Every structure is written in structure tokens, then in C-alpha cells.
Structure 1
Amino acid sequence: MIKIERTEYAFASLDASPDEWEAIKAIVGYCASHFNHTELRYSLPFPEEQQHGKIESLCEAMNTVWGNPPIEDMYRDDVFLIANCITHTEGKDLPKVNPKLQEALAQQLHDIDVYHLFDDGHVTPAQWDLWNCERRIHATKSWIIALHAKQTDKAGHPYAQHPLRVLMRLLELFPGVDEDTRHAALLHDVMEDCGITAEELRQRGYSEQTIQTVAAVTKNKNDGLTYAQRIDQLADKGPLAAIQVKLCDLLDNNDPNRLSALSKEQARSLNKRYSKAIQVLKARIAEP
């Protein structure tokens, strides 16, 4: 069964069975090859001179770029095109398309009513807030990928993968964590490794809570403290958000798959250091 869910202002996710997807691709392919023999030009919500090109581009993406469903972040216009291609060829004898399956697809899309799906009047304030939050998190991801672009970790892997994994761990361990802490998880190394200042974060619109969290997990090279002392200080005086971010940072650093890429001596030394720090932070989080 086809399932289409709006996931953003102009995007949706689409799921379908393998047979349905193959039929959809065949239908769109037919429309791209026989555009002048369809009624599509009278129903598509685009200027007439763009219509055929859009369907050809959609066909190309479906066959060479997209994988099998579920497909995330499908652009609204592509959803509209798919729906129109199916409904406007219903009843035609198309090659490689089972007529009964095509009829079922058309009925499903009629029931979904994709134009109604993208009617902003049906979006709740809570949904808008969620989408806006996701958009801001995505912007932070894009920025930290650019900031860490030329950096690698101890094993020589792209460093940007690390903060992305830290966010994933944060959401797994603390699923109700707020947006500020999510940004901080992504940004936790930008002060120390990229030279980004608190003022630059402020200018980019990050909250004081996010900035304070990033600062709390950033190493101060002039504090005269040992690694263990810094962890103890964070556990004793640091904000909960910073402790959560640092814990996820250490869990990723201590991942066996990452340590296995290092020499046995280095891996053993780091594992010993990280394991002790992890226990200290876990104990602090577990306190009532």
C-alpha cells in the first residue's frame, strides 16, 4: 500500500511495495516518453513549458538516483507529478503495468489527496514547531560538516562523522532532550578544534544555553587541570546538558570499532581513560 506523509514544508516521505514502485516507475516512464499523448498538460501545477522537462527529470531520478522506498524528503512537486501521472493514465493499456494494480494505485492516491496533504491550513502549530526545529538542526549539521571538512580523527576518518554520531547517541540515551542540547552535541568541538568563539555562535543565532553547554565541554588549555580533574569538575559543577553531551562524546570515542583502528597500546590507554570518565559522568547523571 502506498503511504505518503508530509515531513516538512515542501517535502514528504513515500513508501510503497516493490510491485507498486515498479509500476509507478513504469507509469512515469510512459508519461515522460508519451507526454503529448496524455492529458497532463491540463492538470500539472507548473508552467506549460516546464511540464515535460519536470517529468523527464523525475523519471531520471527514479531510475538512476533514488533507491527503493521508503524514500525520505521527496520534494512536493515530485509527489504531485507521480500522483498526476498515475491518475491521468488510469484505464490506458500501458506496457509493463498491470491494469488492476494501476487502478488500485489511482484509488489510493485519490484517498490520500496529496494536494490536501500540502494544504498549510491543516498543519498544526506543534507540527510547524517540529519542522522548524528539524530545519535548524539540519542547518547546524551542514555548518559543522563544513567546519570539520579538512579534519580527521585519530584513525584518519572524516572528523565530521564524530559529532553526527554524538547527536545520534544523545537522542538514543536521552530521547526527550531539548533543541539547545542537540545543537550543542553537534557543536561540541567547534570552539576547541575550529577556533569558533562564543560571539560567533551568538551571531549565528544560537541560544546562551547552547553556547554555555559547548563552552563547558571545551578544554581550557590554561586551566592547569589534568584530564581526570576536568571530568570531575564537569561532573561536579557543569550543567546537565554538558554532562549529557560529554558522556555521548566519550561513548563514541570509546567505541570498540573506533579504537580497533588504533595501535593496541594507544587503544588500551584511551579505553582506560575514557572508561573511567564515562563512569564518573554516568554516576552524576544517575544522582537524584
Structure 2
Amino acid sequence: MTYIIHGATGAQGSPVLAAMLAAEKPAVAAVRTQDALPDGVASVAVDLADAGSLAEAYAGADGVFVHLPMGPPEQSLQYVEAIATAVAKARPTRVVISTSGQIVDQPGSPLQAPDDSPIATLIRRVSDTGVSTAVVATRLYLENLLLPVVSGPAKLDGVLRYPLPAAFATSWISHRDVADVVVRLLTDHSTAGVVAVGALPGLTGPDLAAAFTGQLGREMAYEAITPETFGELISPLFGPEASAPVVGLYQALNTQEGNSITSDNSAQKLLGIQPRTVAAWLADVSL
């Protein structure tokens, strides 16, 4: 019995691997290079574009956790083809897919990922194999607030600046909370389909600032900045090419009134799992 965890050295996979190991589940890190893993962690070398290497890793697995890395659509679709082909061949007992913040559970919304997008194609192709599949649908990650261009001014100036209107409510979620849901879905197959994770009701900019006030011990204000300004701030960190789709995301979000999950398919209702409060999350991270 094994559980294959993709991206186990990254922001999404690492908390899942840690949570699985904490639950004493036989988790195996699926990575391109095994050098970055701590000693004693079981691992398998895979190429996300090579269906053969993926099928070997998935063979006999009780569960697979996978998400698409950031990259151009052509590359992502290559990954989709390899993953779906491997699942169809190896037939692991369960597959859990993270949307990485892309929206797949709001049909009719301008924010909904198109049917031919890599994430929608991955979900459809894997589901069509007949293998039990669950999808973890996220919105925005709280870890975004730890970027130095966000947390730095918060600590120095007492102002939390982010490219969303103050009244814009979002179902913010931490990677650790996502990992808790993934572990449940990997090990308990009673729930399939899309499970949305995040705060209910959604949190606004002032809600976030209030949590930062409690953590930093000083009064915090929230200030909305434009997506373009945010892009200028993050470009030195990630480069212009990687920053462009981020700017595009926030431009799209700024045309909407909010970005919250619904209760009907939430982890709160389907699994009885409540996410940590922002204050609890802040107490566990380093600002």
C-alpha cells in the first residue's frame, strides 16, 4: 500500500507529504530529482511528461496526489496526456487532483476554467478512466501574503497591500489546510468529485488586516493596489514571464464581486473539515 505524492518538495506537495507521514501513511515522494528530499523519505523519480515513468510509479498505488505545475498551456497539456495515460494503464485505486486555484466549480462564471484548459482536461481525462477521482478546488492561498512585497510593508508600514478591492470576499486557504483535505480524500474514498476548500464566508481585505493586527501587535490597515502595480512588485521575484499570468488573474478577479466557494460542495459540508482561522495560520508561520 503506497500513496504517490507529486511535487513533494514544493508548496503544495510538501505539506501533503508531511501530513501523510504524520498520519503514518506510506507516502512516496514523486519528484524529478531525489536529492532535495530529507533522509529516510521514500521517493520515486518521475518525469511528468513521460507516461511510462508515471505508470511505473502509479502501479499498485492506493492513491496519487497530482497538480499541474505553472507553465505554458502547451507544456501543461503534455503533462495532462502523460498523467491520464499513466492512470489508465496503472489504475491506482484513487487519484486526487488539486486545481491550484483555478476555478472548475462555478459554471457560467467568467472565472471558470474553459473546457479545453489543461486543468479541465486533466479532470475529465482522469475521471473518464473510471478510477475513483476527487478534485480539491481552491481559490487564493494565504501563503501569498508571505511574499516579501506583501509582508514587508505590512511589518514596516502597518499596511497590508494586495491587488483586490477591500470589500472583495475570498475563500482564502492555507497549504496546510488543503493538505488536511487531500489526506482525507486519499485515504477515505467515500467522497468523489469536486470538493471546494477555503474560508466560509469569504474573507475581505480588512478581515485579513485584523488578523495581522493581532499577530503583529500593531494596528494594520488594508490598501488595495492595482494588479499592474502588483505585477511590478513581483516581477523581480519571479520574472516578467511568470508574473504575467498572475497579473491576468487579478485583473480578472477585479471584474468580479468576490471569489468564494459555495457551501454545497465545501469540505466543511462534505467532510466536516474546518480550515484554520487566519489568526491560527499566522501563529504557525514566520513573518
Q: Normalised by the shorter chain, which TM-score bucket? A: under 0.3
Higher relative contact order (CA 8 A, sep 6+): 2
TM-score after normalising by structure 1: 0.27
Which of structures 1 and 2 has the bigger CA Rg?
A: 1
Greater strand proportion: 2
| TM-score normalised by L of structure 2 | 0.27
